[in-house]
Amino acid sequence: MLFIHRQAAPVHALKLLWLIQCVAMAAMEMSGPFWALHLQSSGQLSASELSWYSALAYAGPMLTAMLCIPWWGKAGDRIGHHWMLLRALAALALTQLALAYCTQPLMIIAIRLLQGAIAGFIAAAQAYGSQLSSREQRGQLMASLQTATALGSVLGPMAGGWLYQSQGFTAVNLSAAALCAGCLLLAALCLPRSKVVPASASTALQSNSGSAQQNSWWRQGMLPGFLLGILLIQSAKMLPQAYFSLYVTQAMQATTGFAGLSYGLSAAGLCLCAPLWAIYFRQQEDSTILRWMIALCIASAVLMAVQSLYLSATIFLLCRFLWGCFLGALLPVFYSLLSLHTPANKQGQALAYGNSAAKAGALLGTAAGALLMAILPLQHLFWTVAVAYLLTALLLALLPRTYPLPGSAPA
């Protein structure tokens, strides 16, 4: 059983964790938009091979991470999540360094797959932060880390695009490796360590903090319900990723600058509203939170329908911003529910399962979007996202019948 020693300034440590996550995620996203261009520049691939290699470069790390993150989470529960945090940052730094000097397409794919398998930084940061924070801070923590990820995902491609244009792709990966190494040094020197305590002492701590109910929750098997919620939310979110830029530039006849602005507004909405949702949900029962999730999915479906109509540029941008505000509630809330209702000695394992479910949802949503793009006219594709959100709302409404939540009426 592991326990994080509460130092004098845990708030300072959580702020530092937020900074590390933001910088590390920005570093990893610096190269994200440019793998297809880099593979094409090698001149070793045909058009069909390029499409397959590009798909593997993007989706491969998500697949290996989905399979391996639970193992790392379980290891963190045994030896300490601080060590898992350092391991993940070291893995990111070393693999980005290797990618900076790798030119063979097959080796690039192999390193990308390895990177997904041995990193798992987001799950490690969530598990580490959950033991560093109190139960009352848990929802705020998950929202804060989600905001850090979103902000890094916006800043990283911007910096990567400038470096790629001015210095080349090697400079992009070297910079990412250097940033991850800096985060590793900061985490090693400034974040508090994990401390192993006897099982009897940890049991006493659990009884004082209400973990008996958490253990009961774990035994009742409600974990699959929360994982299903994460998978559904992430699938609906990622569904338009495959065709969003094409939809904006071709179906709407807008510019790439407009596409970038509308994409950035969603991230801005998430960053602004995720902490506010966490504060509001802090005192709510699980059943009330689930009803809010259902309502937000329905509202997201309405926003997608309005975007499909393209009434005006202003309305489209407003819908994108509001959708980002809703996203600030959806995924972080499910992570916080996972953490709050999981025993302290299983935090890493449960949050790792949550991250695996998110990766599976991302793969499912991206694949479904690519398939729909091949069989439906471009101007109708956003209607499918509205349908996906309505289906998600329906399935979430059925969750209490299968996995009863605290505060729900019996079915």
Q: For every one of its 411 residues, what pLDDT tens digit does the chain have, with 9 covering 90 and above?
A: 344 444 434 778 888 999 999 999 999 988 877 787 788 887 777 877 887 888 788 888 989 999 999 999 888 888 888 999 999 999 999 999 999 998 888 999 999 999 999 988 999 999 898 888 877 778 888 888 888 988 888 888 888 888 888 888 899 999 999 999 999 999 999 998 865 444 444 444 444 444 444 444 444 456 777 888 889 889 988 888 767 777 887 778 877 678 778 877 888 888 888 888 888 888 788 788 888 989 999 999 999 999 888 778 899 999 999 999 999 888 888 888 888 777 777 888 888 888 899 999 988 988 888 788 778 887 888 898 899 899 889 988 887 665 555 555 443
Q: In sequence order, what are the residues at sequence separation of 6 or more whose Cβ sits closer than 8 angstroms to the Cβ of residue 307?
A: 316, 319, 320, 382
Beta bridge partners of 3: 195
d(CA 25, CA 121): 9
Q: In sequence order, what are the residues at sequence separation of 6 or more whose Cβ sits closer than 8 angstroms to the Cβ of residue 46?
A: none
With contact defined as beta carbons under 8 Å apart, do 18 and 144 qualify?
yes
Q: Are residues 387 and 260 in the same domain?
A: yes
Q: Last residue of a domain, which of 163, 195, 227?
A: 195
pLDDT at residue 410, rounded to an integer: 41
Q: Are residues 169 and 31 in the same domain?
A: yes
pLDDT at residue 94, rounded to an integer: 96
Beta bridge partners of 292: none
pLDDT at residue 3, rounded to an integer: 40
pLDDT at residue 119, rounded to an integer: 87
Beta bridge partners of 195: 3
Q: Are residues 364 and 237 in the same domain?
A: yes
In which residue are the tokens 């995902």 written?
A: 153
Q: Are residues 34 and 94 in the same domain?
A: yes
d(CA 116, CA 399): 31
Beta bridge partners of 186: none
d(CA 273, CA 242): 25
Q: Which domain holds residue 98?
A: 7-195
Q: Are residues 217 and 187 in the same domain?
A: no
**Which amino acid appears at position 32 of this protein?**
G
pLDDT at residue 313, rounded to an integer: 86
Q: Are residues 142 and 191 in the same domain?
A: yes
Residue 349 lies in a domain: yes
Q: Are residues 269 and 146 in the same domain?
A: no
Q: Last residue of a domain, which of 138, 166, 195?
A: 195
pLDDT at residue 2, rounded to an integer: 42
pLDDT at residue 216, rounded to an integer: 45
Q: Which helix (H) or strand (E) holds 70?
A: helix 47-79
Q: Are residues 374 and 242 in the same domain?
A: yes
Residue 201 lies in a domain: no
Length of the chain in residues, anyone?
A: 411
Q: Are residues 183 and 241 in the same domain?
A: no
With contact defined as beta carbons under 8 Å apart, do 221 and 380 qualify?
no
Q: Are residues 214 and 191 in the same domain?
A: no
Residue 409 lies in a domain: no
Domain CATH number, residue 281: 1.20.1250.20
Rg (CA), the chain: 21
| This prediction's pTM | 0.80
Residue 405 lies in a domain: no
Q: Last residue of a domain, which of 135, 161, 195?
A: 195
Q: Are residues 176 and 233 in the same domain?
A: no
| DSSP state at residue 264 | H
Please report how the helices 121-132 and 138-166 are oriented relative to each other, as an axis angle in degrees rounded to 10.
150
pLDDT at residue 406, rounded to an integer: 53
Residue 203 lies in a domain: no
**C-alpha pair distances (Å), 18 with each of 135, 141, 377:** 18, 9, 41
Q: What share of the chain is helix, strand, coil (3-state, %, to 5)?
A: 85, 0, 15
352: number of Cβ within 10 Å: 30
Q: Are residues 354 and 270 in the same domain?
A: yes
With contact defined as beta carbons under 8 Å apart, do 234 and 331 qualify?
yes
**Which amino acid appears at position 195 of this protein?**
K
Residue 292 lies in a domain: yes
Where are the alpha helices (H) located in 80-210, listed in sequence order? 81-100, 105-118, 121-132, 138-166, 169-190, 199-208
pLDDT at residue 12, rounded to an integer: 83
Q: Is 219 exposed, middle or buried (0-12, 13-18, 19+ CB in 10 A)?
A: exposed
With contact defined as beta carbons under 8 Å apart, do 115 and 92 qualify?
yes
Q: How many domains does the chain have?
A: 2
d(CA 297, CA 392): 7
Residue 225 lies in a domain: yes
Residue 262 in tokens: 């509308």
Residue 19 lies in a domain: yes
